[in-house]
Chains A and B, each alone.
Chain A
Amino acid sequence: MTRYLIAISLIASSLLFGCGSRPETSQSDDQPATQEPVYRIAVIPMATTDVFWTSVHAGAMQAAEELGNVEIYWEGPLTMNDREGQINIVQNYVAQEVDGIVLAPIDRTALVRYVADAQLSGIPVVVIDSALDDESTTVSFVATDNYHGGELGARTLATSMNNEGDAILLRYTVGQESAVQREQGFLDTMAKEFPNINMLSDNQYSGPTEVDAYNKSMDLLNQFGDRVDGIFVICNRTATGVLQALEEEELVEKVKLIGFDRTSHLVKALEDGKLQALVVQDPINIGYLGVKTMVSHLRGEKVEKRIYTGEYVATKENLDDPKINQLLHPQKVD
C-alpha cells in the first residue's frame, strides 16, 4: 500500500515539476500595463491532432498575442466522436469559471444543454466552425459561409467550362448542414448566372468515404462519361474518390473538377493540373475571430450574431499568392 502511494505521488510530482503547469500565456513583459483584466478563455476544438484544428489553434494564439491580456486554454476531446468527452471539458471549464468558452461542437444537439448551462453560470460561449441547434444561448457563431463557398465553386466551374456544357454536382451525405449549404449555393448560382450550363445530375450522394465516392463516381461516369464537362464536389474525401475515378477512366484532361477543402493529396493534384480548383476555408481565421469575438463581447462591445471567416478559391494560377499558399500549406502551431 505504501508503494502504491509512493507511485501515485511520484506520478503526481512528475506532473507538477516535470511538465510544468504553465498556461499558454501571451502576456509579454514589454506590453504597457492596461486597466483590463486578463481574460481566461477556453478554446475547445473537435479534435487536437488534425491539421485543420492545429490551424484553428494557431489563429486563437495569434489573437491572444495581439490582444495581450488573454490566456488561452486549448483542450479537446480524445477523438472526434467523443461527445461525452467534449461535454466533460465544457463542464470542467464552467466549474473553473473561465471568462469565456470558444467551442466547436462535435454534436449540434448534444452540446445545446451544456452551452445553456454555461450561460446560466455566467460564462458566455462563442460557437465556431459548426452550428449548434439552438443559438439563443450563444454570443455568436463564427464560421465559414458555406453557401458562399458553393457560389464560388459554381462560378469557378463555369469559368473553367467557358460558361457552357454539362455539369454534375456530386453531393456528400444526407443531412449534413454545412454540406447542404454548399450544395444549395452551388445550384442556386448555376441556375441564376449560367443558363448555358446544363446539370446532368444533382441528386446523387457520394457517401462518407473515399471508396464510396469512387464507386459512386464510377457509376456516374458510366452513365454520363461521354457528355460531362465539369464536376463539383463539396468535400475533400469525395474529391479524392472522384479524382481517382477520372484518372482510371482517362477523363482528367476533359472533365473539370472543383473540390472543397484541402488535403495534401488534393493540393498535389491541383499543382499537377489534375483538378481545376479547390474552394478552401480559413481555419486560422476561425480561431482568430473566435477569440477576438469573445474578447469584444467580454469588453461589453456589441458583436454580430453571425461572423463569416472567409472562403477562397485556390487554382494553379494563384498557388503562389501568399494567402492561398498559407491556406494550402497550413503550418503547425509552434
Chain B
Amino acid sequence: MESDLKRSSRLLNLLRTTLGTLLALIVVITFFTIADNLQSGGGRFATVKNAQNIIVQSATVGVAALGMTIIVVSGGIDLSAGTGMALCAVILAWCLKADYAPGLAITAGILAGGLIGAVNGLLISILRVVPFIVTLGTMTIFLGLSKVIAENRTIRPAPEQVPEWIPQLLNPRIDTPWMLFPAGVWFLIALSIVVAMLLKFTVLGRHITSMGANQRAAWLCGINLFRTRMIVYTLGGLTVGIAGLFQFARLTSANPTSGTGKELLIIASVIIGGGSLNGGRGSILGTLAGALLMQVISSGCTALKLPNPIQEIIIGTIIVAAVTLDQWRQGRVFARYAKK
C-alpha cells in the first residue's frame, strides 16, 4: 500500500528519532559522570552498582511505557495507566493476603490489567469520546476501585505469604553476578523485543501505525478500527498489569494511591523517546531510553546533591524540549514532502 521509498524514509525517520534520545541519554550520563568526578568525594555515579539501581528503578515505568507506546502509536493515550497499575498491585496483594497461590495472584493482577485496558478500549469505541477524556475518567474510577478493594488502607500480605522470588524480581543485588540484572529486567528486555517486532513487522503493527497516522484513511483502507483499538488498549492494559506486579515486587505491599502520577512518567517516557501524541509514530527503543533518561537525571541529581525542585525543573524542561524538537522535526519532514 505504501511505496518502498516512503516506508524506508519512515524507517529512517524512526531511527533518527531513537538515535536522538539515545544520544541524549549518553550526553546526560557523560555529563553526570564528569560532574560527579569533579566534586569532592564523588566518583560513585558511574558504577555498575548504580547502573543496576537505575535500570531496576526504571523498570516499572518502562514496562508500562511499552504498552503506552503501542497506544500512542495508534493515536490514543491512556491517563489511567498509573492508577490502573496500583489497582493491579492491590488485586495481587489482596489475593496473596487471602492465601491464594502466588501464581494465581500474579495471574489475577496481570489479567486485571488486560481487563481494565479492554474497558478503556470499549468505552472509547462505544461512547465515541476521545481517549484523553475516557481515560481521565477511568483514572479516577480505578483509584476508587483500588480504595474499595483495599478498604482505604495499605494491603500488607504477611512475609510468609509473599514468596521470596517476587521481591527478587527487581532486587538489584542478585545472587548470580553473571546475570547482571534481576529476572524482572530481563523479562522487560524480552518483552520489549516482542513489542518492537509486533509494531514493525506484523500486519497488526502496520494497522496500528496507519490508524494512528490517519484514522479515516485507515478506515477507508478496510482496517477494522474497533478490533484494532480493542487489541491496542488490551495490550496496553496487560503491560500495566505487569507494571503492577513490578511495583508490588518492589514494595511487597500495595497502596491504592501508589500509582497516582505515574501515568505522567509513563507518557513522558514515550514522548521523550520520540513518540508523537498525534499518533503514527513511536519507538520502543526510544521509549526505554526515555524512561532511563528520567531515572538517570534523578539519580544524577542525588549524586550531585541537588535538591528536589531542581530535579523536577530539569525533568520538566527535558520533556518540553523533547516535544518541541519533535515538532520541528515533523515540520521539516512535512516541508520536504511538500516540496516533492
Query: Which of B107-115, B187-195, B213-221, B245-253 lies on the face that meets chain A?
Result: B245-253
Interface membership of A21, Cβ < 8 A: yes
Is A19 in contact with B23, judged by CB distance below 8 angstroms? no
Q: Are B251 and A83 in contact (CB under 8 A)?
A: yes
Number of interface residues of A (CB under 8 A): 46
Contact A91 B305 (CB under 8 A): no
**Could you tell me how many residues of chain B have their Cβ less than 8 Å away from some Cβ of chain A?**
54
Residue from A19, A40, A173 whose CB has the most chain B CB atoms within 10 Å? A19
Chain A interface: which of B124-132, B149-157, B196-204?
A: B149-157
Tell me the bound Cα distance from A251 to B321 in angstroms. Answer: 59
A16 at the interface (CB under 8 A from B): yes
**Which residues of chain A come closer than 8 Å to B318, judged between CB atoms?**
8, 11
A75-125 CB contacts (< 8 Å) to partner B: 75-76, 78-79, 81-84, 87-89, 91-93, 95-97, 107, 109-110, 113, 117, 120
List which B208-239 residues lie within 8 A (CB) of chain A: none
Q: Which residues of A contact B295 (CB under 8 A)?
A: 88
Contact with A along B12-47 (1 / 0, CB 8 A): 000010011001100110010001000101001001
Task: Check B325 against A84 for contact (C-beta < 8 Å).
Answer: no
Q: Select one of A21, A78, A96 contacting B35, CB under 8 A.
A: A21
Contacts of B23 in A (CB 8 A): 1, 4-5
A181 CB to closest chain B CB (Å) equals: 18
Write out the residue numbers on chain B whose beta carbons fall within 8 Å of the beta carbon of A19. 306, 310
Residue of B23, B50, B251 with most chain A CB atoms under a 10 A cut-off: B251
Interchain CB contact (< 8 A) of B153 among A5, A23, A110, A175: A175
Smallest Cβ-Cβ distance to A12: which chain B residue:
B31
User: What chain A residues lie within 8 Å of B123 (beta carbons)?
Assistant: none
For the complex, is B303 an interface residue (Cβ under 8 Å from A)?
yes
A-B contact count (CB 8 A): 123
B-contact bits for A25-55, CB 8 A (1 contact / 0 none): 0000000000000001000000010000000
Determine the distance from Cα of A48 to Cα of B318 in the docked complex, in whole angstroms. 23
Contact A88 B305, CB 8 Å, known A8-B28, A109-B154, A208-B152: no
CB neighbours (8 Å) of B328 from chain A are 3
Q: Does B137 contact A (CB under 8 A)?
A: no
* C-alpha spacing A96/B36, complex, angstroms: 10
Would A5 and B27 be within 8 Å (CB), given that A21-B35, A81-B257, A84-B250 are in contact? yes
- What is the chain B residue whose CB lies nearest that of A1? B20
Interface residues of B in 68-99 (CB under 8 A from A): none
Extra contacts, 17 of them, besides A21-B306, A74-B307, A95-B50 (Cβ < 8 A), are A1-B16, A3-B328, A4-B24, A4-B325, A11-B321, A40-B41, A79-B261, A83-B258, A84-B57, A84-B258, A88-B57, A92-B298, A92-B299, A95-B299, A107-B251, A109-B252, A117-B173
- Could you name 6 residue pairs across A and B whose Cβ atoms are closer than 8 Å? A7-B321, A8-B27, A74-B307, A110-B251, A110-B252, A113-B171
Point out residues on B near A: beta carbons under 8 Å. 16, 19-20, 23-24, 27-28, 31, 35, 39, 41, 44, 47, 49-50, 53, 57, 60, 152-154, 156, 167, 171-173, 247, 250-253, 255, 257-258, 260-261, 295, 298-299, 302-308, 310, 312, 314, 317-318, 321, 325, 328
